[in-house]
Amino acid sequence: MALCAPSISVRICTSTGLQRRRFAPSSRTLKPRATAAVETKSPTAVGGGGDGKLLLEVKDLSAVIAESKKTILRGVNLSIHEGEVHAVMGKNGSGKSTFAKVLVGHPDYEITGGSITYKGQDLLEMDPEERAIAGLFMSFQSPVEIPGVSNIDFLNMAYNARRRKLGLPELGPIEFYGYVAPKLELVGMKIDFLNRNVNEGFSGGERKRNEILQLAVLGAELAILDEIDSGLDVDALRDVAKSVNGLLTSQNSVLLITHYLRLLEFIKPTYIHIMENGRIVKTGDISLAEILEKEGYKAISSA
């Protein structure tokens, strides 16, 4: 979720990809452009090839856990263009969440090699807050609770933090309520959700919806969604996927981490990547996820 510290003095540091431009209300389904699974053993960045501008380019990225210096990422290559949906799949422990967290500047990790360019800028030179202001949003695999802070106050605070940075007027509580209320419908949440403390007592599904509500309120050019399908029943999954689709435009992109084909049947990916041992070892289209579903990772493993 969108913060570093679970306290009222929250430093908005990761997922406040705020509203530079509103997301289009209509849904847009992106067609897979890659037709066959391809191996990606060369250091050349993979993905891309779309019509949109290059948004993110990751080259040979390696990273260690800051505390133990254990290597987790071992040369990740990935390019994302505007309007593309990229799914990253892979066994538990392959480095998917680490990759996502490194993108938003999580302090648990240190970069030991490679580069990340975002909208033409060196992302690694930007602190987490600057990344958020530049439109990077991440929904965490396990969103944290913030006792004592209501959802609406939190959202209002996060929204205004970015408005301030962008030199835009802040919205007071009443104006903000008018802005946020219609968005609840998009994520299938009732109005009383706004008055509950952030994630406190929320079910798994409610937490995930809440993450998407944050994305809807704050906006993002690149939304990184880590296992938004975990803990969801099929109906909730469909709702959450529908909300994500409702936020897609030809200008923004999504990096979706998932284990399941069923999410990708709702949110159509442009590309699917397989992560293994800290690297993207294969890139392809939906057929890669279909093989995975039927035969497991051994069918596509590079080992």
Residue 107 touches ligand ADP, criterion: CB under 6 A: no
DSSP three-state, residue 115:
strand
Between 57 and 226, name the residue whose CB sits nearer to ligand ADP: 226
46's tokens: 């993979």
Separation of alpha carbons 142 and 116, rounded Å:
25
248's tokens: 């897609």
Between 142 and 195, name the residue whose CB sits nearer to ligand ADP: 142
Please state whether beta strands 38-39 and 271-276 pair in parallel, antiparallel, or not at all (unpaired). Answer: unpaired
Region 38-97 residues binding Mg ion, contact defined as CB under 5 A:
96-97
Residue 253 touches ligand ADP, criterion: CB under 6 A: no
Between 96 and 106, name the residue whose CB sits nearer to Mg ion: 96
Find the binder of ligand ADP among 14, 16, 98, 156 (CB under 6 A).
98
Give the residue among 14, 94, 82, 12 at the shortest CA–CA distance from 251. Answer: 82
Amino acid at 269: P
State in angstroms the smallest separation of the CB of 95 from ligand ADP: 4
Burial class (CB in 10 A: 0-12, 13-18, 19+), 24: middle
Between 70 and 190, name the residue whose CB sits nearer to ligand ADP: 70
Q: Give residues with Cβ within 8 angstroms of 142, minimum separation 6.
A: none
Region 64-93 residues binding ligand ADP, contact defined as CB under 6 A:
65, 72, 90, 92-93
Contacting positions for ligand ADP (CB under 6 A): 65, 72, 90, 92-98, 108
Contacting positions for Mg ion (CB under 5 A): 96-97
